[in-house]
Structure 1
Amino acid sequence: MSANIDKTLAALADPCRRRAVELLGRQPHRAGELADMLGLSAPAMGRHLRLMKQSGLVEESHPEFDARVRVYTLREGAMAELKRWLADTEAVWVTQLAAFKAHVEKKPQ
């Protein structure tokens, strides 16, 4: 498993960060909006967003009119490597379980 997948899974391990990903999947949000929606303090939300940014899940931008405001969006393709790994892992399990089922259902001769 690659370091990128490890970072992604570590970022998604926290329920607040998973909820933030769900919210950002609908539309971009300011950090303060996310904090309000998740019932978190601004510093706590900042820590979550910093970790999500370091893991490559989110990107931040600043509106032209106010550089103090940070708007967060999901980074396109951020979970592509994780999706591939999950698909590969699922394929292995499907093959293994199908072989096990065939073995169990095999009638003795």
Structure 2
Amino acid sequence: MDLDRAFAALADPTRRHIVTVLRSGPQDVGTLARPLPISRPAVSKHLAVLVAAGLVEVEKSGRRRLYCLHPEGFAEVRRWLDQVARTWDVALERFRRHVEGDGEG
């Protein structure tokens, strides 16, 4: 998975909305498009970006194509964010000790 693609895909508010809706379970394009102010073809293009980024998968159910979240794609994003968070946690703890005088020696 390419983290740059994942973050680029999530940078768009429409795609974030689609991801939020898909948290409740698989949906077809029509269902996803209904509340949005864009056409079904536009929603399909957004879904293609999410699929290419590894964040969404397509399941075929008869003639319908259902879109669902791809947990492993989000797990990789989460792992990267956790690494960044740990770095900040360490830096903030050092800063706290410095400010409180615990770091003097």
TM-score greater than 0.5 by the shorter chain: yes
Structure 1 residue runs of 5 or longer lacking an equivalent are none
In the other structure, the counterpart of 2:71 is 76
Letter aligned with residue 90 of structure 1: A
Q: Which of 36, 39, 53 is matched with 1:38 structurally?
A: 36
Letter aligned with residue 23 of structure 2: G
Q: How far apart are the structure 2 equivalents of 1:44 and 1:34? A: 11
TM-score by length of structure 1 reads: 0.85
How many percent of aligned residue pairs carry the same amino acid? 38
| Deviation, structure 1 residue 98 | 1.0
| Deviation, structure 1 residue 61 | 2.2
| Deviation, structure 1 residue 86 | 0.9
Give the paired residue count.
104
TM-score by length of structure 2 reads: 0.88
Q: Which of 51, 57, 60 is matched with 2:58 structurally?
A: 60
Q: How far apart are the structure 1 equivalents of 2:48 and 2:66? A: 13
Please give the residue correspondences for 1:1-109 in structure 2 after superposition, counting only pairs within 5 Å: 4-64=2-62, 66=63, 69-106=64-101
Structure 2 residue runs of 5 or longer lacking an equivalent are none
CA RMSD after TM alignment: 1.8
Q: Secondary structure at the match of 2:68?
A: strand
Q: Secondary structure at the match of 1:83?
A: helix
Q: How far apart are the structure 1 equivalents of 2:38 and 2:59? A: 21
Q: Secondary structure at the match of 1:37?
A: coil
